[in-house]
């Protein structure tokens, strides 16, 4: 038996008292049991790009194997979207048919296939049709503007694009900026298409997938380290960078999620039960690694049901949870807050909810308490980033209630360390420094960007840019985030990108973006600007200026004007900590 649980002050503040006998085992004891030889989470050491790393021995070798796991679930429901219900069998029939169509269009191993659409049943069809033939899938941010989407298509050298009608309307005017783009399939188009073809002409609409032939995947050899995805993430320069992920990266997440769940059960002293299919409400976009890698992969392997929404709406979510007996949801703290605080909640039976988990944005400890108190559900969160293909740490259940200010310990195949600012010295336990992470989930690097790759990836470690500390037992606490980054409801906003747009306005000579605290969204972007002498511009004019050039979530909610140029340090960098007084 483990010694009595260490109870941080924040745990006391939210009223958490560990139940008698908890934890029944230490984290180290849980890890030893779960990873023992012959167990599901057994590990082995392999050489990945010259670095010896621990990996899950029983992880699927590639995403073809994951797709075949999905096929094995047969008539179970895979995706529910409004009045459409797609089984695993129907999904696989569409994947196989589209994979052959991609090859017929000249898509070969290593070619890029971009995917730009809402969370629709077609999304996992297109994704797996691409990666099972060895193509690199490029999930583009569906919130991006036309120029932003065109940049992603051009930078990745995309050969074939599958998008929905809304994204096509944004892209079509910029088709000439994408010289490698040969083929475009548009889903759910109600208008005549020029320069594109209807996806339904090749695989039908989702309700028709069961009528497709019971096909097989094209024969392509894929090894774990083969390229699988490019997920775009902005950098401090403001230019989006494509994180190049492998099949191993995505397959690692399947067991990482299960490992965390297993630890929570063993910490209670309970036996690991036989897995049972669950139903989850997916409310974050699949173009994020959280929803795709940490969510879609594990759900598909387990045979779970995923419910998609056309657009997030709390009341609609209540209806879905009640109707479909949803057992888990979340994504970002914003979602959890809205589920908790919406006045209509009391009118619906939400008793099926077992867990509400999130990541991607800071969460108040009070949220942890309310999830348990209001829903009787277990809270969960974790830490990861696009460059780690999501999960590095996991934190859930009683452990999260006990350490509500932590993002959890690393999963068994991951390592964390805290480094000095110059990256030359590892700091001792408890000291705050830059968080470095290592493991089989870390991506290869940035697509066609060797300079940024060399700067960020060092001997298997990724320099995260986050400031953090580790405690004696390995739990991680994020103290601050990457420089100049604002996280609004799980969406990354890099200050320099917005600042550059403001600087383009003829009246602006100085500009800085900061984050304003927001209970539900975590924070919102706000700007401070200094206008050139004799020039004028209103707050509304500047907000419209940004809105025409960047996605809506990047537009500052407030813009303040400074009579003087903005304060700077000796190196000429703006002292952003001094700008909060403007609001």
For tokens 């929905």, what's the residue? 164
What are the start-end ranges of the H helices in 325-404? 333-341, 365-370, 397-402
Q: pTM for this one?
A: 0.87
* 247 lies in the same domain as 125: no
Tell me whether residue 363 is in a domain: yes
Residue 423 CB contacts under 8 Å (≥ 6 apart), including other chains: 434, 458, 463
Judged by DSSP in three states, 43 sits in strand
What are the angstrom distances between the C-alpha of 458 and each of 442, 444, 452, 455, 462?
A: 11, 11, 11, 7, 6
Checking 424-427 for CB contacts under 8 A at 24+ apart, the result is none
* 467 lies in the same domain as 494: no
Q: Distance between CA atoms of 324 and 32, rounded to whole angstroms?
A: 37
Tell me whether residue 2 is in a domain: no
* 311 lies in the same domain as 408: yes
Residue 510 CB contacts under 8 Å (≥ 6 apart), including other chains: 529, 530, 562, 565, 566
* 54 lies in the same domain as 68: no
Tell me whether residue 1 is in a domain: no
Mean pLDDT by 10 residues, the chain (583 residues): 44 83 96 97 98 98 98 98 98 98 98 98 98 98 94 98 98 96 97 95 98 97 98 70 98 95 95 93 93 96 97 94 96 81 92 88 75 91 93 94 92 97 94 95 97 96 93 89 77 82 87 91 94 91 95 96 82 78 94
* 501 lies in the same domain as 436: no
Residue 195, number of CB atoms within 10 A of its CB: 11
Q: What is the pLDDT of residue 40?
A: 96
Domain carrying residue 539:
487-582
Q: Which of 452, 480, 508 is at the close of a domain? A: 480
Q: What is the pLDDT of residue 360?
A: 62
Q: What is the pLDDT of residue 573?
A: 63
* 370 lies in the same domain as 403: yes
Kindly state the tokens that stand for 492: 């990354």
Q: Distance between CA atoms of 454 and 227, rounded to whole angstroms?
A: 18
Tell me whether residue 496 is in a domain: yes
CATH number at residue 559: 3.30.300.30
For residue 81, what are the β-bridge partners? 84, 308
CATH number at residue 378: 3.40.50.12780
Q: Which of 437, 455, 480 is at the close of a domain? A: 480
Tell me whether residue 177 is in a domain: yes
Residues counted in the chain: 583
Tell me whether residue 529 is in a domain: yes
Q: What is the pLDDT of residue 234?
A: 60
* 427 lies in the same domain as 526: no
Nearest-Å Rg of the Cα atoms of the chain is 24
* 433 lies in the same domain as 289: yes
* 311 lies in the same domain as 333: yes
CATH number at residue 162: 3.40.50.980
Tell me which H or E stretch contains 153: helix 146-156
Q: Which of 164, 193, 222 is at the close of a domain? A: 222
For tokens 């336990």, what's the residue? 429
Tell me whether residue 415 is in a domain: yes
Judged by DSSP in three states, 464 sits in strand
Q: Using the 8-state DSSP alphabet, how is residue 490 labeled?
A: T
* 207 lies in the same domain as 118: yes
* 346 lies in the same domain as 462: yes
Q: What is the pLDDT of residue 366?
A: 77
* Distance separating the N- and C-terminal Cα atoms of the chain: 52
Question: Number of structural domains, the chain?
Answer: 3
Tell me whether residue 229 is in a domain: no
Residue 538 CB contacts under 8 Å (≥ 6 apart), including other chains: none
* 251 lies in the same domain as 314: yes
């Amino acid at each position: 038996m483990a010694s009595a649980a260490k109870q941080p002050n924040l745990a006391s503040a939210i009223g958490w008292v560990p139940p008698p006998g908890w934890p029944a085992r230490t984290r180290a004891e849980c890890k030893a049991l779960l990873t023992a030889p012959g167990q599901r989470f057994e590990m082995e050491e392999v050489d990945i790009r010259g670095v010896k790393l621990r990996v899950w021995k029983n992880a699927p070798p590639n995403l073809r194997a994951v797709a075949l796991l999905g096929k094995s679930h047969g008539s179970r429901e895979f995706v529910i979207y409004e009045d459409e219900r797609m089984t695993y069998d129907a999904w696989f029939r569409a994947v196989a048919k589209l994979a052959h169509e991609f090859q017929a269009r000249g898509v070969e191993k290593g070619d890029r296939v971009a995917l730009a659409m809402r969370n629709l049943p077609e999304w996992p069809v297109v994704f797996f049709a691409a990666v099972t033939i060895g193509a690199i899938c490029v999930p583009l941010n569906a919130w991006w503007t036309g120029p932003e989407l065109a940049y992603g298509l051009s930078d990745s050298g995309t050969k074939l694009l599958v998008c929905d009608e809304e994204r096509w309307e944004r892209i079509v005017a910029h088709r000439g900026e994408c010289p490698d783009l040969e083929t475009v399939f548009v889903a759910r188009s109600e208008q005549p298409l020029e320069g594109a073809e209807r996806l339904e002409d090749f695989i039908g609409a989702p309700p028709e997938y069961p009528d497709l032939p019971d096909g097989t995947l094209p024969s392509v050899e894929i090894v774990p380290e083969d390229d699988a995805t490019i997920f775009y993430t902005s950098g401090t320069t403001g230019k989006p960078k494509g994180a190049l992920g492998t099949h191993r990266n995505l397959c690692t997440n399947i067991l990482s999620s299960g490992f965390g769940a297993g630890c929570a059960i063993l910490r209670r002293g309970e036996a690991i039960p036989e897995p049972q299919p669950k139903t989850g409400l997916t409310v974050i976009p699949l173009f994020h690694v959280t929803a795709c890698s940490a969510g879609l992969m594990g759900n598909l392997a387990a045979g779970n049901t995923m419910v998609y929404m056309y657009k997030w709406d709390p009341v609609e979510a209540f209806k879905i949870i009640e109707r479909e007996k949803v057992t888990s949801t979340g994504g970002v703290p914003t979602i959890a807050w809205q589920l908790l605080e919406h006045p209509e909640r009391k009118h619906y039976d939400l008793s099926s909810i077992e867990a509400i988990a999130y990541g991607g944005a800071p969460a108040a400890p009070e949220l942890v308490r309310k999830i348990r108190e209001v829903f009787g559900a277990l809270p969960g969160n974790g830490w990861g980033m696009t460059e780690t293909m999501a999960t590095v740490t996991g934190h859930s259940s009683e452990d999260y209630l006990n350490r509500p200010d932590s993002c959890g310990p690393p999963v068994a195949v991951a390592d964390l360390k805290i480094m000095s600012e110059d990256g030359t010295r590892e700091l001792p336990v408890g000291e705050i420094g830059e968080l470095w992470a290592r493991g089989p989930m870390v991506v290869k690097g940035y697509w066609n960007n060797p300079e940024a790759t060399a700067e960020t990836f060092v001997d298997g470690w990724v320099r995260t840019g986050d400031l953090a500390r580790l405690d004696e037992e390995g739990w991680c606490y994020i103290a601050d985030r990457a420089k100049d980054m604002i996280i609004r409801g799980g969406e990354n906003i890099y200050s320099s990108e917005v600042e550059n747009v403001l600087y383009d306005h003829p009246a602006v000579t100085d500009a800085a973006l900061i984050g304003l605290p927001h209970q539900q969204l975590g924070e919102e972007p706000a700007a401070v600007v200094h206008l050139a002498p004799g020039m004028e511009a209103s707050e509304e004019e500047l907000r419209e200026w940004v809105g025409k050039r960047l996605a809506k979530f990047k537009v500052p909610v407030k813009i303040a004007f400074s009579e003087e140029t903005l304060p700077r340090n000796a190196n000429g960098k703006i002292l952003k900590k001094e700008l909060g007084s403007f609001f």
